[in-house]
Amino acid sequence: MEYIFPDYENSIYNLHYAILDYFGIKNRERGKIKLENKRNKLLFIFVDSLGINLLNKLNLNLEYHEMTSVLPSSTTTALPSFFFGLRPSEHMIFIRTKTTKLSGTLLWFPYYYVYPTRSAPIVDITFVYNFDTIFTKLKKKELKSLSIIHNSLENTALTKILYKDSDIKYYLNWFDAVELILENRNYDFIIWYLMDIDDLSHQYGIDHSSILLALKYLFELIEYIKEKDAFDIIISTDHGQTKVNKMRLLEELQNNPNVERIYGDRRAIMIDGELEDINKIFPEEDYFVFYKEDAFKLLGGKGNKKIMPNYLIVPKKGEEMRIRLGFDDKPESEFKSAHGGLTEDEQRIPLITF
């Protein structure tokens, strides 16, 4: 198995700045990504979990620029990196987040408002994570933005901070979304965020036939949009997915008096505290164990180094790591495929341009 470390000169984080550059807002952070402006209107189709491993199975002979995700290679971390133009070490947003502004409380970032098995508590986090978005920066140049997202995401914690200064329209199905795109050609920048491929991959695994069928249908819809010749179009994602077959519940760490906090992601756990037996708990043949300095670099290498975790743990194989939360007496259900780590399936992502 091959492992790929995030390249913060060529990642979903840098795409934020490449889009600003497309609209003439010059910057240094677009890195190795360059977008050609032909129509002065840009449509970004953001397909959650469209890794290169999955794209290549479609056999569409599409040319793409290869990028990496960030670390953790998960939606909750990668979306803020794109929308805010901040590296994970700068925004420090993970599925489970440590924040000194709330007395070190462990926050849960619910992706949906209600999970099938429980109600997820919604926390008003806008006063903690009050960053400018890509839409804020475009608005300052009098450029109009529209975000088209599924209506189930209307009341999530992330939605409240990611789409600041963008108009928002909600859709029920993909065809509705396409109609919304074509009805709103007066916008300078439109982003259509799709979460369906991510959901299918988690539930059925990345090899399931339903995923390829869904993607083929999606690219047919994209061809329909292309025929209208209204936008420059880019397609990309936040991360890929890899097969998982094991779930480790980290109760021995939660009960360890030397552990101050456990946070991070299912496949990139972060630990505050001092553990003399860290390499026994996480043996080298099964895990990467990164200490504070290396963790800082992998999370982006910018920001406040003092608040970086003492340890960053990433599984080398198909394992997820879970912690129990106070409002839930059961671990989360297991997935067939997951993301968050450093395998090439999780890290390698495409940027397709039309």
* pLDDT tens digits for range 328-342: 445 555 789 999 999
Quick check: 122 pLDDT over 70?
A: no
Structural domain boundaries in the chain: 1-354
> Residues of 44-61 as b/e, b for ≥16 C-beta within 10 angstroms?
bbbbbbbbbbbbeeeeee
- pLDDT tens for each residue of 139-194: 999 999 999 999 988 877 788 889 999 999 999 999 999 999 999 999 999 999 99
- Supply the DSSP string of 299-354, one letter for each residue: TTS-S-GGGS-SEEEEESSSEEEE---TT-SSPPPP-SEE-BS-BHHHHEEEEEE-
Give φ, ψ of 29 to 5 degrees: -95, 5
The pLDDT value recorded for residue 324 is 62
Of 3-7, 197-201, 281-285, 327-331, the one with minimum mean pLDDT is 327-331
- Supply the DSSP string of 229-276, one letter for each residue: T--EEEEE-S---EE--EEEE-HHHHT-TTEEEEEEETTEEEEEE--T
Pick the closest to residue 15 from 56, 50, 67, 90 (CA basis): 67
Quick check: 345 pLDDT over 50?
A: yes
The pLDDT value recorded for residue 98 is 62
- pLDDT tens for each residue of 227-254: 999 999 999 999 999 999 988 888 888 7
The chain-wide mean pLDDT, for the chain, equals 89
**How far, in Å, CA of 51 to CA of 197, rounded?**
10
Cα three-residue angle 157-160-166, rounded to 5 degrees = 150
Q: Give the CATH number of domain 1-354.
A: 3.40.720.10
Tokens of 347: 């890290």
Q: Is 122 helix (H, G, I), strand (E, B) or coil?
A: coil
**How far, in Å, CA of 303 to CA of 93, rounded?**
13
pTM of the model: 0.92
Quick check: 112 pLDDT over 70?
A: no
Q: Is 63 helix (H, G, I), strand (E, B) or coil?
A: coil
Cα three-residue angle 115-118-119, rounded to 5 degrees = 80
Pick the closest to residue 341 from 5, 9, 65, 13 (CA basis): 5
Count other Cβ atoms within 10 Å, centred on residue 115.
13
Q: In this structure, are residues 261 and 104 in contact, taking their beta carbons and an 8 Å threshold?
A: yes
